[in-house]
Amino acid sequence: MFKLSLINVVIGTSLAANCYAMNPQIDPNNPDGYIVSRAQINAAQDAKTPNPMYDIWAKALETRPNSVVEGIRPGSATNPENVKRVERVFPQSEWDFLTQMAAPEYTYTRFLQAIGKFSAFCGDYTDGRNADEICKKSIVTAFAHFSQETGGHIAKSNTSDNPNGLEEWQQALVHVREIGWSEGQPGYTTGCGQNDWQNKRWPCTQNQGYFGRGAKQLSYHFNYGMFSEVMYDGDATVLLKNPGLVADSWLNLASAIWFFLTPQAPKPAMLHVIDRTWTPSQRETDAGIGYGFGTTINVINGGIECGSQNKDKGQPVNRIRYWEGLAAHYNITIETDEENTCFQQTPYGSLNLNGATDVLYTNWDGNWKYYADRPGGFSFECELVGFQTAYSALVPGDYEKCVTNFYGSHASWPTIRVVEEDLTPPVVEPPAGGIAAWSANKVYLKGDKVSVTVNKVTTHYEAKWWTKGDAPANGGPWQAIP
């Protein structure tokens, strides 16, 4: 059974080496805190995510309103264009062919609604790629994994349990809930109630169970919270309070589509492996990770299914059998550089990415580095990291939340408030032939120079770090210069 897992160890170095020059000012409403402008916040975020893949990932996760999604019906003239493409390349008859054992909660209408939520699934391409072929390949890939995650796994020769002699790849979506679990049964509450960032953003609801539900068996409260934010305009509480919706509505398939489109950096989104928007980094290429169905296994569950040590394990063997059976039935083209297996690949969790400069990460964490030219040496920034946090580079507004919430959650760190006004310090020309006089009300950064005149004797000073209100003659952050 697949679970989106929370990664708790660093798997690579941050790529956010370049820091934007923040200009924090003392908060007039809180003498122990600071303010930064939203323009600075946005500029800092843009400086850290210049690679166009960030825009591509974010675009792939754009959603339609649920009011539109719930109006989708097979054959409707008002269906979104990507839904009409699915109806063309994978009509109701094909759905029926692959779901003869499926639970009644999974329907073709709900399948179309799940796809309709995300315009990128089976969407258009403007660069000559064949959108219909990519769409069909995406659906077949999804069904290969459905057959493993929630399938019947009944041999064709077992006529008592499989009287119609269905292939195992025709036995997808048998289970809606994880075997052994039912609604009203609390469970999968590991970490619930702790005073940490996970629970502050995705708080568990008492007496609810976050066991596997839906086509990809979504599990654990943080995954329900993240998925709820995508489904309900940023509201994590809807599914945290009512996780059963992931079993009993079109969300049972939408959760799988969401996973299909979501990169778990440094893992790419499955869609971008299939449509080749993703390009493997050198580290990935060296680890045998390239194009093909095998990489989608690595994305899903590489830690226990990929690598030579797992070559004979049941789960990957099943996935590959199901994919090859489906691909043959639907005449899916397998390119010469594609591998159906991942036995030759290093699992992503074992891939050493330390020092890699061509791997992109998608989560924000506080920048802990010391900056002598900023108050207290704090960065007042967040940076991209190779482990999961509460803040995603693909979610609008999360960078600001990281900066403000992260600092506010550390007792020894200053609080930060974002304001709309421009806090860029004005450019003040020094007096002709000299250096501007020191002002007790002005913020000075490392390297700034001032003059102090006492009894007609002028002394010049240079700031050694951020300072405000410290008289240069007292030393401290100031040093006298010729």
Q: Which residues are catalytic?
A: 149
Q: Helix 81-89 and helix 108-117: axis angle, to 10°?
A: 140
Four-residue CA torsion sign, 86, 88, 89, 95: positive
Q: Are 339 and 292 in contact (CB under 8 A)?
A: yes
Name residues whose C-beta falls within 8 Å of residue 458's C-beta, 6 or more positions apart in sequence. 434, 451, 452
Q: How many CB atoms lie within 10 A of CB 144?
A: 27
Half-sphere exposure of 308 (CA within 13 A, CB side): 3
Q: Are 427 and 44 in contact (CB under 8 A)?
A: no
Q: Helix 251-261 and helix 108-117: axis angle, to 10°?
A: 40
The DSSP H or E segment spanning 401 is helix 398-408
Backbone angles phi, psi at 451, to 5 degrees: -125, 145
Nearest to 438 by CA among 413, 474, 404: 474
Tokens of 472: 């240069």
Tokens of 314: 């049941």
The DSSP H or E segment spanning 37 is strand 30-37
> Which residue carries 């996970």 as its tokens?
198
Please give the Cα distance from 374 to 446 (Å, whole number). 8
> Which residue carries 């939520």 as its tokens?
117
Q: How many CB atoms lie within 10 A of CB 6?
A: 14
CA 459 to chain centre: 54
- 3-class secondary structure, 185: coil
Helices marked H in 287-372: 293-305, 314-329
Nearest to 109 by CA among 242, 239, 249: 249
CA angle 8, 274, 311 (to 5 degrees): 65
Mind spelling out the 3-state secondary structure of 146-164? HHHHCCCCCCCCCCCCCCC
CA dihedral 164, 167, 170, 171 (to 10 degrees): 80
